[in-house]
Each structure stands twice: as C-alpha cells, then as structure tokens.
Amino acid sequence: MTAEPRPVAVLGGTFDPVHTGHIALVTAVRDQLEAHEAWLVPARTPSLRTEPVAPAQLRLAMLETAVRAVPGVRVIDIELRRPGISYTIDTVEALAVARRDVLPWWIVGADAARHIREWHRSEELLGLIHLVVVQRAGTPRFDEAEARSLQLPPSRTRVLDITPPAVSASEVRARVAAGRSVTGLVPAAVAHIIAASGLYRSAPAVR
Ligand code: ATP
C-alpha cells in the first residue's frame, strides 16, 4: 500500500533577494495547511519579467542562508539546474515524477495570482496544481469571487487571509541602490551577503 502524499507548501519566485515577506509567507501557509515542510523554488530565468539583477548562485546563497535557522523550510534548486526559461509547469511535471511522496501546494501572492492566466501553458498548469493565494499588502483583497472569475480550479484552490509583511524585493534593491538600510526587510545574514558582494548598489531599482 502506498502512503498518501504529504502536503508541502511551495513558493516559486525570483528571490532577488529573498526577504522577510517570503519567509513569513511560507511559514504561515505551511502552518495553516498543516504541511510538513515549505519549499522555496528560485527561478533561473523568469518568463514574464526581466532577468534578475543578482546572479543565480548569489540568489541561491542568500536563500540558503535565510532558511538555515528556519526549521521546516528548504530551498529546492530544481529550476536553477534546468537550462532555459523556468516555467512552473515544467517544475510541476518534474516533481510529479520525482516526488510522488509529496502533494505540492503552490503559493502565489494576490499580485501574481492576477496574472496566472498569462503563465506558460496555464490551462494545463491549472488542470494539475493545488494553489494557495495569499493577500499582498498594498493590493486589493483577493477573494473567492476573484478566484472564480479567473477560473481557478475550485476544488484545488485555497484563498487564505494571510497578509505577509509589506516587503518587496524591488524595495530592497531600491534601498540598497540609495545607500539606505535594509535592516528588518531581509534576514541579517542576507543583508551581510548584499553588503559584502556589492549587490544592487548600482542596480536599476524598478522593473
Ligand atoms: P519584486 O519586487 O522583484 O517583484 P517580490 O518581492 O514580489 O519581487 P518574488 O520573488 O518575485 O518577490 O515573489 C515570489 C512570490 O512571492 C510571488 O507569488 C509574490 O506574489 C509573492 N510575494 C513576495 N513578497 C510578498 C509579500 N510581501 N506578500 C505577499 N506575497 C508576496
């Protein structure tokens, strides 16, 4: 007899850089879903936005240092190891083969959820995945009616009233470029990597 797959909360993103909003978000969703783990999945090359400012290896290093002291949160580098554009559908299909033991619940912030129909092979993707939408500070509240209007699969979609701290990676980059402090916006060890590497000092802050 095969055991039921265990739920895992999964957050994909560019993590340029990972910030306290990401960490608060995945731990809150993991707890609410009673999932045994949360995974952060950095994209190598995102499909719907410009190339990340930080190289993949530094984004990965920042993620790994950020989760070191956070039990039950892991970084999965599957998209960094795959050449080309990082499409979520490819990751979903690869995990369905390689990790039959887990049931991934893909997390999106309300801002990202509103664009999910633009994602690569979105029809197939939405035919497969379990989706969790969380609120994003500064954007209108995402509710069940909006989920229906986007035709998110009702039996595999959960809209949660979790609003993580109002942090964005763009704000972090902009503050570093302006020579301002990012204390509290990123874990201390991430701030250390940013300072030591000179990342974002001259980066274009807005995409
Ligand atoms: P950027 O400012 O560069 O666009 P970001 O802060 O949105 O970056 P990403 O790595 O692009 O971070 O986000 C990955 C996912 O995490 C997306 O689904 C996004 O909606 C969600 N997310 C990121 N930060 C928050 C936050 N503070 N609250 C809710 N959702 C968030």
Inform me whether the pLDDT recorded for 8 exceeds 90: yes
The confidence score (pLDDT) of residue 204 equals 58
Give, using CA atoms, the residue closest to atom 6 of ligand 1. Answer: 168
Q: How many CA atoms lie within 13 A of 126 on its CB side?
A: 20
Q: pLDDT for 107-134, tens place per residue?
A: 999 999 999 999 999 999 999 999 999 9
Q: How many CB atoms lie within 10 A of CB 84?
A: 10
Q: How confident is the model at residue 205 (pLDDT cuts 50, 70, 90)?
A: very low
Model pTM score: 0.96
* CA of 21, closest atom in ligand 1: 27
Q: Are 171 and 17 in contact (CB under 8 A)?
A: no
> What is the 3-class SS of 113-169, one letter each residue?
HCCHHHCCCHHHHHHHCEEEEECCCCCCCCCHHHHHHCCCCHHHEEECCCCCCCCCH
Please name each of the domains of the chain with its CATH number: 6-165 (3.40.50.620)
Give, using CA atoms, the residue closest to atom 29 of ligand 1. Answer: 136
Q: At 153, give phi and psi (nearest 5°).
A: -65, 115
Q: pLDDT for 138-188, tens place per residue?
A: 999 999 999 999 999 999 999 999 999 999 999 999 999 999 999 999 999
The confidence score (pLDDT) of residue 202 equals 87
Give, using CA atoms, the residue closest to atom 23 of ligand 1. Answer: 22
